[in-house]
Amino acid sequence: MTRTLPATAIIGAGISGLTSGKQLTDYGVPYTCFETSDRIGGNWAFENPNGYSSAYRSLHIDTSKHQLSFRDFPMPEDYPDFPHHTQIKQYLDDYADAFGLLGSIEFENGVEHAERLPGGGWELTTQRGETRRFDLLVVANGHHWDARWPDFPGNFDGIEMHAHHYVDHQTPHDFTGKRILVVGLGNSAADISVELSSRTLRNEVTLSTRSGAWVVPKYYGGEPADRYYRTIPQIPLAWQRKLMQLTIPMAGRPEKFGLPTPNHKFFEAHPTQSLELPLRLGSGDITPKPDISRLDGTTVHFDDGTAGDFDIIIYATGYNITFPFFDEDFISAPGNRIDLYKRMFYPGYDDLIFHGFAQATPTLFPFVEAQARCVGAYAVGNYRPPSVEEMRRVIDADMQMYTGHMLDRPRHTQQLDYFVYEHDMRTRELPAGLRRARREGGIRWAQVAGDGHPGMKEPA
C-alpha cells in the first residue's frame, strides 16, 4: 500500500472554496473544486446565474477593508473604506488569478449528490451526470442562499418576497409608489429600508422587528468604526462584552429614533451597522413597528395593537444552513445548528471538512482564511483532531463561550469572535494537532490496489 496525498473535492467556489483551494495548492494536494455557476464568488457574484447570490445592486460591504482583507492578499489601497460588491468580486477574481486557482475549478458542474463510501472516501454525482470518487471532501457551499421565511398567522393578499431576491427599486417588482413593509432588522433590512424610503420613490416604508437591535455607526471619529474593534484573546470575552455594553450608549439608544427597545444587551445578538437608518427613522421616512401578530388580506396587525395596509412585504429574515447534496438522514443543520469541532470537523467522519460555516465578528473573510490553513495541514498529515469524545467536549465548551450569552435564534447558532478563534487556531489548536499527528500518526491516505480509487484508510 503506497502512501499518497488525498484526492480532494471542494464543493463551491465562494470565499471558503477559494481559500481552501489556495492552501491545498500551496501544499501540493490534488483537488477539484465543483461550482454550480459559470463564475467564482458565490454570494459576491451579483446576479449569479445559480441563484445563490443575495447581493443587491447598491450593496456595499458592512465591514471595512481594513478588517476584511485576506492576510496574504491585502485589498488594493485605492479601494474605499467600504467597497461595493463589484469591487469585492474583482478582489476575489484577482485572488484566484494571483494563486492560479481557476484551473482546478469545474464550472457549471456542481455536486448534486455526495455519498460516503463504506471504506471511507466519497462518491460524488455532478451536474453533468458524472460519478467521481475522492478521499477527502471539503464542504464550502455557503450559508447565505437558502432563504428562511417566517410563519405568521393568517394570509397576505399582496406581494410577499424574501430579501434574497431583492435587486433594486425596479427588480423583481416595481417598488415605487407602494406601501412596503420590511420585516427584520439586520444589515440587509436596514439597507433595503433606507433605499426604498427615498422620497423620490414615493413609497411608504414600515420596518417591523421582533427583537429590536443595537444600531452602530460605520464611522466613529472620522474613521471606520470597526478599526477600533479588536477583542483580546487573553481576556475573558464576558469582561470585554461588559465594557462594550457600557460604551454603546454613546452611539445612541434605538428608542431615541423610534425603534423598540432591544430585548437583549449589546452583543447578545448581532448588531446592525448603518449610518442612514437612524436618519431615515428620525426624518419620518421610515415608520418603526414591533413584530407582526397576524396577516389579514392586505392588512398587517402588529403586537402593539396597531395595523396597516400594505402592497408588498419583504422578509429580511435570514437564511438556513442547507446541504442539498447530502441525504436528509445523513448530516443536516436543524434550527441552523450543526455541531462541528472548531467549526470544521464532524465527529466520527475523518474524510469530511466543513469550511466557512460561522457568523464571524467582525468579518468572514479572514476567518475562512484561518480555517483554510487547517484544511491544508490536515490534508498532508500535519494536523490531527483529538478523539471523538474530546471533540464533543470542546464543541460544547466553544458553543457556550461564543453563543451561550446570545439570543436563542437560528441566526446566532454559528456566532463567533474571529480574533479569539484565529488566536486559538494559530497558537494552540494547529500546534496541538501537529503534536497529535506526530504522536499518533496523521491520517493515512492510501492507494487501494485494483480499482484505482484513492481511498482513505485509518492508520494501522
Query: In sequence order, what DSSP letters do the residues of 327-357 get, joined into one string?
Result: -TTTS--GGG----BTTTB-TT-TTEEE-S-
Chain segment 210-236, per-residue pLDDT in tens: 988 889 889 988 899 888 888 888 888
Which residues of the chain fall below pLDDT 50? 1-3, 446-460
- Give pLDDT, residue 228: 83
- Give pLDDT, residue 449: 29
All domains of the chain, ordered by start, with CATH? 8-146+319-457 (3.50.50.60), 149-315 (3.50.50.60)
Give the closest residue to 186 by CA, choosing from 252, 277, 93, 250. Answer: 277
Give the closest residue to 188 by CA, choosing from 43, 279, 45, 56. Answer: 56
Q: In the Cβ-directed half-sphere of 97, how many Cα atoms lie within 13 Å? A: 7
User: Which run of H or of E encompasses 196?
Assistant: helix 187-196
- Give pLDDT, residue 451: 37
Give the closest residue to 367 by CA, choosing from 431, 421, 430. Answer: 421
- Give pLDDT, residue 3: 47
| Residue 386 cell numbers, joined | 483529538
| CA gap 9, 227 in Å, rounded | 36
* Cα-based torsion angle of the residue sequence 366, 241, 336, 18 in order, rounded to the nearest 10 degrees: 0
| Residue 334 cell numbers, joined | 436543524
- Give pLDDT, residue 247: 75
Is the N-terminal amide bond of 362 cis, ω within 30° of 0? Answer: yes
- Whole-angstrom CA distances from 363 to 369, 415, 437, 459 are 11, 11, 31, 37
| CA gap 114, 328 in Å, rounded | 11
Q: What pTM was estimated for this model as a whole?
A: 0.93
Q: Which residue has the cell 460605520?
A: 218
8 A C-beta contact, residue 51 and residue 43: no
Q: Which residue has the cell 454570494?
A: 43
Measured between alpha carbons, how far apart are the two ends of the chain, in Å? 11
Give the closest residue to 268 by CA, choosing from 164, 364, 403. Answer: 403
